[in-house]
Structure 1
Amino acid sequence: MLDDSTIADDSVSYTAEASHRAEPAAALPQLTPTQRKVLEGVHLGLLNKQIAFNLGIAEATVKAHMTALMRKLNVRNRTQVAIMAQTMADHTAFEPVAH
């Protein structure tokens, strides 16, 4: 069972980590057009294979773009990328790129 101090330490750690992430609107201009399209695919809940098919690129290329997105958005996983994409959509900073 976790005690209150462990939970408090985890909360502080999570809050500090979140404050180091890029602001969604600030990160968007740093993205290439293809990275924006991949981000849109993640936002739509598509798999890498589906994103690759839609963009006419290899799945490995989508994975490379995902790695770049995670680095630029300063997040660790696909779920966090999706959350950032939703945040961008909510704040109208993210405008999907036409295919």
Structure 2
Amino acid sequence: MPAASAPFQLTPTQIKVMRGVRSGQLNKQIAFELGIAEATVKAHMTALMRKLNVRNRTQVAIAAQEIALSGF
């Protein structure tokens, strides 16, 4: 998947959201853990999908796994 090798800039919160998605958490759980609103998590998910050039949550999780394996 080209997303893992593409250069992109993620904010610290986007990285935390991506880790939550990768571990199978729901938006509500991620929001609680990070102390932010669920709507904010959804906004970060939208930004992540755009930056990673993917279309859904599952693809974000797959890209997160590939990024983690590449040493990000």
> Structure 1 length normalisation: TM-score?
0.67
User: Could you tell me how far apart the structure 1 residues matched to 2:32 and 2:19 are?
Assistant: 14
Are residues 1:79 and 2:58 paired? yes
Report what 2:10 is aligned to.
31
Identity of aligned residues (%): 72
**Gaps (5+ residues) in structure 1?**
1-17, 94-99
Runs of 4+ in 1 over 4 A off after TM superposition: none
Counting matched residue pairs gives 72
The residue correspondences of 1:4-15 to structure 2 (distance < 5 A) are none
Structural RMSD (CA)? 1.4
3-state SS, counterpart of residue 3 of structure 2:
coil
- Please, what TM-score do these two structures have when normalized by structure 2? 0.90
Mapped partners of 1:37, 1:25: distance in 2: 19
Bigger radius of gyration: 1
Which residue number corresponds to residue 65 of structure 1?
44
> What is the CA-CA distance between 1:66 and the residue it aligns to?
0.1
Q: Relative CO higher for 1 or 2, CA cutoff 8 Å, sep ≥ 6? A: 2
Structure 2 residues without counterparts, runs of 5 or longer: none
Shift in alpha-carbon separation, 1:24–1:39, aligned structure 2, 3 A? farther
